[in-house]
Amino acid sequence: MSEDGKKAWELPSAASRPVSDAPPIDTTKAHSARMYDYYLGGKDNYPADRETAEVAEQSWTSVRTAVRENRTFLARAVRHLVREAGVTQFLDIGTGLPSAGNVHEVAQRENPACRVVYTDNDPIVLAHARSLLRGTSEGRTAYIHADLRDPGAILASPEVAETLDLDRPVVLMLVAILHFIVDEERPAEIVRTLLDALPSGSYLVASHVTPELDPDGVGGLERAYRNGGVPAQARPRDQFAKLAFEGLELVEPGVVLVSEWRPDGAGPRPPAAEVSWYGGVARKP
């Protein structure tokens, strides 16, 4: 509780469903958010997550490098869109556990008025959502516990209505989440439903693990996730590009390895197979 008796998640720059609504956290099964946290060196993971993550890592030994490259891609894309495109609103689906450089931190450093709605379907992310809600007083952040496979519920949520102005451009962030939506769940339709609700001048930032550069390593990772109860589907570059960006105007350099998307400086970057993760940014015409 803060001094005026408000709960931390009701502080002025925040809006969220009360955390008391939180569904139970199942620590007996692996969860992708906690496995990602483990690869990033975080502490919010349990034996079931570590066990599945370690089996995956035995197959794709560079997974930690890849995850770090994805995370820095996310920050560069957000910075670019605030600085160069002047966008100040973000809908970040598949937020993950709070980590260094959350979207609102990167965006509000560039423009303190930035607004971010975070969405994830993992109860542990909801349990930690409070730290995603501490932003600038000029900006605003909110958190929705929701599933990407139900885009209508996300768009209809009071948090979106109260935080974002859907008559002005919004950045839709689908970073490292589409590979958890298998073909039978029609990921392209989900992306279209979300983009259809956003005005012209909005952007999509997306990234996706690919099997084509290290089929054995990434194939083993995919199997480890599935065997651990986490549906996953790595997709080749062209499939990812079509699924995410069809009909949009790609920002240079297009769909490339996350490590090659407007890198900071000219320092050495990891070999392509170690990254095996494509990303891109595109504008809705």
Ligand X SMILES: C[S@@+](CC[C@H](N)C(=O)[O-])C[C@H]1O[C@@H](n2cnc3c(N)ncnc32)[C@H](O)[C@@H]1O
> Does the protein bind ligand X through residue 228 (CB under 6 A)?
no
Taking the CB of residue 136, how many other CB atoms lie within 10 A of it? 17
Q: Of 57-65, 171-179, 189-197, 216-224, which segment contacts ligand X by CB under 6 A?
A: 171-179
Contact between 226 and ligand X by CB under 6 A: the answer reads: no
- Cβ atoms within 10 Å of 215's Cβ, excluding its own: 13
Q: What share of the chain is helix, strand, coil (3-state, %, to 5)?
A: 40, 15, 40
Contact window for ligand X (CB under 6 A) among 155-163, 169-177, 214-222, 241-249 = 169-177
- Contact status: 237 vs ligand X (CB under 6 A): no
Residue 32 near ligand X by CB under 6 A = yes
- For ligand X, the binding residue among 122, 214, 222, 274 (CB under 6 A) is 122
State in angstroms the smallest separation of the CB of 253 from ligand X.
19
Alpha-carbon torsion (43, 47, 49, 50), positive or negative: positive
Q: Which of 15, 177, 204, 281 binds ligand X (CB under 6 A)?
A: 177
Query: Are the CB atoms for 155 and 194 separated by under 8 Å?
Result: yes
Size of the residue set binding ligand X (CB under 6 A): 21
* Residues 6 or more apart in contact with residue 173 via CB below 8 angstroms: 74, 78, 90, 91, 92, 93, 94, 103, 205, 206
| Subset of 137-166 contacting ligand X (CB under 6 A) | 147-149
Site for ligand X in 73-112 (CB under 6 A): 74, 93-96
Could you say which of 9, 36, 90, 225 contacts ligand X (CB under 6 A)? 36
- Strand 203-209 relative to strand 115-120: parallel, antiparallel, unpaired? unpaired
Q: At what angle do helices 63-83 and 47-59 cross, to 10 degrees?
A: 100
- What's the closest the beta carbon of residue 95 comes to ligand X, in angstroms? 6
Does residue number 180 form part of the binding site for ligand X (CB under 6 A)?
A: yes
Instruction: Give the tokens for residue 280.
Output: 């891109």
118 lies in the site for ligand X, by CB under 6 A: no
Distance CA 222, CA 60 (A): 9
Is residue 52 close enough to count as binding ligand X by CB under 6 A? no
Residues near ligand X (CB under 6 A) = 32-33, 36, 70-71, 74, 93-96, 120-122, 125, 147-149, 175-177, 180
